[in-house]
């Protein structure tokens, strides 16, 4: 469940909003007219701007955010993170509307996936602060960064396949990556202390659940506690992998020989061989990666139901 982070809530009044939409995202262009109609039903004055290239959402936010009560992203997780990072520097709350394929951040915050319901829920919801993870190149993530099965999944889920199949593209790619079970040597340095593992997946988490709380990736992860959580999965056989999946689904994560959990403020992942890495559904390049927590760096709008 996404209700572990009840502190630091505040009501917010929005009369004027900026919507930054990515027309290249799977649902962004189709959802925009419906989103604007819903804003109008709430008597919120809205200006909408379409992005034209990667990084454009960040530029738009930096230039225009101070003119509005709140900024809304409408696109995938990449668009959401550009807006979150830039808006945080101007002290504006961000509403993340689901317009992509995975919508990891929107789901983690408990935002409804139907666009009309999402706009309605965020306008009548709350504002809260969450931590962000920062990478060495300055990019940030709200949900997680990782290496292993998740990055392989993203490599195999092509943009064309995602537009056609939606979330099913991720499911099929993740199934392939799990069956392949490519393990690697992992050196994880957590706040200066080195730990070594053999692993098929390593994730640095800011949120611990996905799919509206259906799956729990690590125990007691709080996106507002000023820490990042490292989870390492080390299945040696397909049976081990299925057992880990069952525990993730049943929220029974402790006491398993092939699951390891650590917590820190600076986490560095190095692998042999070098592996692809991802953050919030966007491929980063390859290992090593270093993640540093930025406590309370983002102001987000959340639905009241998502916090119940």
Q: Say how far apart CA 10 and CA 105 lie, in whole Å.
A: 20
Could you tell me if 254 and 219 are in contact, meaning their C-beta atoms sit under 8 angstroms apart?
yes
110 compared with 267, residue with greater pLDDT: 267
Query: What homologous superfamily is domain 16-130+297-307 in, according to CATH?
Result: Probable inorganic polyphosphate/atp-NAD kinase; domain 1 (3.40.50.10330)
pLDDT in tens, 164-195: 444 444 454 455 456 566 889 999 999 999 99
Q: β-pairing, 144-148 with 184-190?
A: unpaired
Q: What's the pLDDT score for residue 59?
A: 95
Check if the beta carbon of residue 118 is closer than 8 Å to that of residue 105.
Answer: no
The whole-number pLDDT of residue 308 equals 41
- pLDDT of residue 26 exceeding 70, the answer is no
**Rounded to two decimals, what is the model's pTM?**
0.84
Q: What is the pLDDT of residue 157?
A: 56
CATH pick for 140-295 out of 1.10.390.10, 2.60.200.40, 3.60.20.10, 1.10.3720.10: 2.60.200.40
Q: What percent of the chain has pLDDT over 90?
A: 57
Tokens of 204: 């640095």
Q: Contact, 282 vs 155, CB < 8 A?
A: no
Determine the distance from the C-alpha atom of residue 25 to the mean position of all C-alpha atoms in its chain, rounded to a whole number: 16
The first and second tokens of residue 55, run together, are 């990084």
Tokens of 123: 């306008």
Query: Residue 194 in contact with residue 100, Cβ under 8 Å?
Result: no
Mean pLDDT, all residues of the chain: 86
Residue 265: how many other CB atoms lie within 10 Å: 15
Identify the pLDDT of residue 165: 41
Out of 120-134, 151-165, 246-260, the most confident range is 120-134
Per-residue pLDDT band at 306 (split at 50, 70, 90):
low
Omega of the bond leading into 104 within 30 degrees of 0 (cis)? no
Three-state SS for the chain is CCCCCCCCCECCCCCEEEEEECCCCCCHHHHHHHHHHHHHHCCCEEEEEECCCCCHHHHHHHHHHHHCCEEEEEECHHHHHHHHHHHHCCCCCEEEEECCCCCHHHHHCCCCCCHHHHHHHHHCCEEEEEEEEECCCCCEECCEEEEEHHHHHHHHCCHHHHHHHCHHHHHHHHHHHHHHCCCEEEEEEECCEEEEEEECEEEEECCCEECCCCEECCCCCCCCCCCEEEEEECCCCHHHHHHHHHHHHHCCCCCCCCEEEEEECEEEEEEECCCEEEECCEEEEECCEEEEEEEEEEEEEECCHHHC
pLDDT band, very low/low/confident/very high, at 224 (cuts 50, 70, 90)? very high
Closest among 233, 217, 231 to 261, alpha carbons compared = 231
pLDDT digits (tens, 9 = 90+) for 89-98: 778 899 999 9
If you average pLDDT over residues 26-37, what whole number do you get?
85
pLDDT digits (tens, 9 = 90+) for 153-164: 776 655 554 454
Domain ranges in the chain are 16-130+297-307, 140-295
How far does Cα 164 stand from its chain's mean position? 22
pLDDT at 204: 97
Residue 254's pLDDT is what?
A: 81
């Amino acid at each position: 469940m996404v209700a572990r982070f009840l502190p630091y809530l505040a009501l917010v009044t929005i009369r004027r909003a900026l919507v930054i939409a990515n027309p290249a995202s799977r649902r962004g262009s189709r959802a925009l007219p419906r989103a604007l109609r819903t804003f109008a039903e709430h008597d919120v004055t809205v200006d909408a701007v379409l992005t034209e290239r990667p990084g454009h959402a960040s530029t738009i936010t930096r230039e225009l955010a101070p003119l509005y009560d709140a900024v809304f992203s409408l696109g995938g997780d990449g668009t959401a993170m550009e807006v979150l990072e830039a808006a945080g520097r101007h002290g504006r709350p961000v509403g993340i509307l689901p317009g992509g394929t995975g919508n990891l951040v929107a789901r983690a915050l408990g935002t409804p996936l139907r666009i009309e319901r999402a706009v309605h829920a965020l306008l009548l919801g709350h504002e809260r602060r969450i931590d962000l993870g920062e990478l060495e190149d300055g990019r940030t993530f709200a949900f997680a960064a990782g290496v292993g099965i998740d990055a392989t999944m993203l490599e195999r889920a092509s943009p064309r396949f995602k537009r056609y199949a939606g979330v099913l593209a991720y499911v099929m790619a993740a199934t392939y990556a799990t069956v392949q079970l490519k393990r690697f040597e992992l050196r994880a340095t957590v706040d200066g202390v080195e730990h070594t593992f053999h692993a098929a997946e390593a994730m640095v988490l800011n949120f611990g659940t996905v799919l509206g709380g259906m799956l729990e990736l690590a125990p007691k992860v709080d996106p507002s506690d000023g820490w990042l959580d490292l989870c390492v999965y080390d299945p040696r056989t397909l049976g081990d992998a299925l057992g880990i999946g069952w525990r993730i689904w049943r929220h029974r994560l402790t006491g398993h020989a092939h699951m390891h959990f650590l917590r820190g403020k600076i986490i560095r992942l190095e692998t042999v061989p070098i592996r692809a890495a991802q953050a919030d559904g966007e491929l980063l390049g390859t290992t090593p990666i270093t993640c540093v927590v930025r406590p309370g760096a983002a102001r987000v709008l959340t639905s009241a139901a998502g916090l119940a």
